[in-house]
């Protein structure tokens, strides 16, 4: 499909684009186009503009640095230039919007699998899609739906690759890690290639076979048992439901479900989490 990005966006960097475009899977639905930028507000905002301009499924924006990067629940996502993998993928899933929450879970699984493949360290998942190594957050996913005549889901992915121990904001010290601080020296392109391979494969399997395989993959890595605040009442996360909802046991023993497309109305806390 021929497509031109909006003329108002920052110019893509040719060298960065060539380096990261080499990471695209050769098959599947995530085959680009990919454009990489030295600096943008956020790759999510770039992909939103692309979606409105008719960009095809598989379009990917990568940034060396974001001035207004966002994580879940409106939190900022910061990384010094060149230290983190910061990208967003545009999907146009042939699924009804009620199934879009499955994509948030799928993306968490794919990022966890890709980071583990690239770094060689065991990853775990905290609902819906925080990726942890040794109890500290190494990566996260922000999934946002775009309604309208050409609906889309945008998956924002952030992986801490090369940050040093003194490059975290004070509020994240001790709770966040990078592959480098865990002793793994790896290129961002290596991480992106591994993540995109897993994301492409998981997405294809979801469309062909449904959600059960994704659900089981998430459960295999899940950190359950964390305390969850639901409408001001604290419960315990006990499972992932068949449609991607977090199953929470309330103090009275009853069960509640929380559904997300990237913005759950709950806080999941594991031991030691502030």
Three-class SS of residue 74?
A: helix
pLDDT at 73: 45
Give every residue of the chain whose pLDDT is below 50, as ranges: 1, 71-74, 261-274
Co-location of 59 and 37 in the same domain = yes
Rounded Cα distance between 92 and 65, Å, is 26
**Whether residue 148 is found in the same domain as residue 245:** no
pLDDT score at 244: 87
Range of the domain at 233: 227-269
User: Among 206, 221, 236, which residue terminates a domain?
Assistant: 221
The CATH number for 177's domain is 3.30.930.10
What's the structural domain count of the chain? 2
Q: What is the distance between the alpha carbons of residues 89 and 87, in angstroms, rounded to a whole number?
A: 7
pLDDT at 269: 41
pLDDT of residue 68: 67
The CATH number of whichever domain residue 239 belongs to comes to 2.30.30
The encoded tokens of residue 154 equal 């945008």
Q: In this predicted structure, what is the pLDDT of residue 274?
A: 32
Residues 113, 197 within the same domain: yes
User: Quick one: 101 and 64 in the same domain?
Assistant: yes
pLDDT tens for each residue of 149-206: 889 999 999 999 999 988 887 777 778 999 999 999 999 999 999 999 999 999 999 9
Mark out the alpha helices in the chain (DSSP H runs): 14-21, 43-52, 101-119, 188-209, 212-221
Task: Report the share of the chain in percent with pLDDT over 90.
Answer: 65
Distances (CA, A) of 242 to 39, 106, 119, 220: 39, 13, 30, 14
- Domain shared by 236 and 217, yes or no: no
């Amino acid at each position: 499909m021929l497509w031109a990005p909006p003329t108002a966006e920052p110019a893509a960097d040719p060298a960065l684009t060539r380096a990261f475009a080499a990471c695209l899977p050769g098959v599947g639905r995530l085959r680009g186009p990919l454009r990489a930028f030295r600096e943008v507000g956020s790759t999510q905002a770039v992909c939103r503009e692309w979606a409105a301009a008719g960009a095809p499924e598989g379009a990917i924006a990568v940034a060396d640095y974001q001035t207004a990067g966002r994580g879940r629940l409106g939190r900022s996502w910061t990384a010094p230039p060149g230290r983190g993998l910061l990208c967003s993928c545009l999907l146009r899933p042939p699924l009804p919007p009620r199934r879009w929450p499955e994509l948030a879970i799928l993306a968490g699984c794919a990022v966890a699998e890709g980071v583990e493949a690239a770094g060689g360290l065991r990853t775990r998942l905290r609902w819906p899609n925080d990726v942890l190594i040794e109890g500290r957050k190494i990566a996260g996913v922000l999934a946002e739906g775009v309604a309208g005549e050409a609906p889309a889901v945008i998956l924002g992915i952030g992986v801490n690759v090369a940050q040093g121990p003194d490059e975290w904001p004070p509020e994240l010290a001790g709770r966040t890690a990078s592959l480098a601080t865990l002793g793994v020296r790896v290129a961002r392109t290596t991480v992106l290639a591994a993540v995109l391979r897993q994301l492409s494969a998981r997405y294809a399997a979801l469309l062909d076979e449904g959600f059960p395989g994704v659900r089981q993959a998430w459960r295999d890595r899940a950190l359950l048992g964390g305390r969850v605040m639901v409408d001001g009442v604290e419960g315990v996360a006990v499972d992932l439901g068949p449609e991607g909802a977090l199953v929470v046991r309330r103090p009275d023993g009853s069960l509640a479900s929380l559904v997300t497309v990237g913005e759950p109305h709950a806080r999941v806390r594991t031991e030691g989490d502030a």
